[in-house]
Amino acid sequence: MDSNKSKQLNPQKYTLNLGDQMKELVEVLDKYKAIADNPLTFSQIFLGLKAAMDNFNNLLLDLNRRLTDIDERLTSLESGRPHEGIMLSKRDEEILSYVKSHGRVTAEDIQKAFDYRGRHAASARLSRLYTLGMLEKAHAGRTVYYLAPKPNP
């Protein structure tokens, strides 16, 4: 029987804790009631919230626009066709045509064909065209070959 008594809950212990929590809740509600009773304060709070929500919505719209643009660019790069906003110089178009007609080229080939003083300028042009998704790249030892992209089925 004594073991049953020890298992019983002490309701006074929990009532005191609940009473303290209720007192805190009433104090908080009284503070907010005082704010809510003043229409000017109440309207200022809501105007502030509206402005914050408008700012947040504008940020979300801008973020969505930027993500859509990034998605379009990634899709165009993955498909091997240039992004609509990419403008190529006449020299880049000539290099692309040269690569397509020769199958594969190196920076040294471009250097000789287009009279570049050094291989670095030719390599930089080819690398940019590769980054834009207009050329493919293949390595054979230390030599880097640039190829025209294969058409997607």
Give the integer Cα–Cα distance in Å for 36 and 46: 11
**Residues facing residue 132 across a β-bridge:** none
What percent of the chain is modeled with pLDDT above 90? 20
> Which CATH entry fits the domain spanning 90-147: 1.10.10.10, 3.40.50.720, 3.40.50.920, 3.30.70.360?
1.10.10.10
Q: Which of 73, 75, 123 is nearest to 95 (CA)?
A: 123
Computed on alpha carbons and rounded to an integer, the radius of gyration of the chain in Å comes to: 35
Give the integer Cα–Cα distance in Å for 108 and 102: 14
- pLDDT value at position 69? 86
Indicate the pTM of the whole model: 0.46
List the structure tokens of 145. 């070959």
User: pLDDT tens-digit profile of 32-88?
Assistant: 777 767 777 777 777 888 888 888 888 888 888 999 888 887 776 666 555 556 778
